[in-house]
A = this chain, B = another copy of it.
Amino acid sequence: MHESAWERDEGAGPKLDGELRSAFGIREEIERRVRSGIWAPGERLTSERDLAEHFETTRVTLREALSMLESEGRLYREDRRGWFVAPPRLVYDPTERGTFDRTARAQGRVPVTRLLDFAVVPCAPRVSALLALPVGLPILRIRRQRFLDGRAVLYVEHHLQPDAFPGLETADLTGSMTEIYERDYGFSYGGMVFEITTVGLHPAAAEPLRMAVGSPGLLVTRAHDDRAGRRVDCDFEYWRHDAILVRVAA
């Protein structure tokens, strides 16, 4: 019976009062408003207390409905800041290199990158596995935060061998890493590997994404080789799960 929620024509009428008061009914009504454009992408919803009153229910039930829409990617929240209508997903191809800015602009979005920090740190086990370096060896770590139309959608960690990139700290680290590699160090890429998996966000990723710790995220891990087959770098991309659609042609 509820199957209709996913098959319904756009123009279907409002639900009965009884259904409106359940979490599922509220979910449907909000989804209808979002799809019809009554609530526009990026718009902040009114407070949970107001919405709960409007739907004649409690905050717990209302939040249940909002959470459903969050896991579907129609709404998103910023920790303690409120609920917002989710913008369209960015179509993203992890096999291409240094394309965040270009891809975003090609899709009519406004990308911004912020450098969080730049440090030499001991090689962590997961990095060791990807770069084939001993755990504890000093390596370069660059952490960045990336925005789409003002919304933080991505937290990235780049890990690379420090001796292969002397003087990297003087480069502009808010653009494409690939361009820097090519222009300043004459690197050209060979193969690559990527992984995609769902994760619960740890604090280091949750905070720059303005999400609550433990929220679901999509982790895209990438590792690149140069033409000689040497592993050059790897990165860990923590995406808001609702901000991205991966598309790859093989």
The interface of chain A, by Cβ under 8 A from chain B, is 2-3, 5-6, 24, 27, 60, 68-69, 71-73, 89, 95, 191-200, 202-204, 213-216, 218, 241-242, 244-250
Contact among B69, B95, B215 with A71 in the assembled complex (CB-CB below 8 Å): B215
Bound Cα distance from A190 to B5, whole angstroms: 37
> Are A191 and B250 in contact, with the CB atoms below 8 A?
yes
**In the assembled complex, which residues on chain B have CB atoms less than 8 Å from the CB atom of A194?**
247-248, 250
Bound Cα distance from A248 to B27, whole angstroms: 36
**For the complex formed by this chain, how many copies does it contain in all?**
2
Supply 20 further A-B pairs (C-beta < 8 A) apart from A5-B202, A193-B249, A197-B246. A6-B202, A24-B213, A24-B214, A60-B60, A68-B200, A69-B200, A71-B200, A71-B214, A73-B199, A73-B200, A95-B248, A95-B250, A192-B250, A193-B247, A193-B248, A195-B247, A195-B248, A196-B245, A198-B216, A248-B248
Contact among B27, B60, B198, B204 with A218 in the assembled complex (CB-CB below 8 Å): B198
> Are A3 and B202 in contact, with the CB atoms below 8 A?
yes
> Are B193 and A72 in contact, with the CB atoms below 8 A?
no
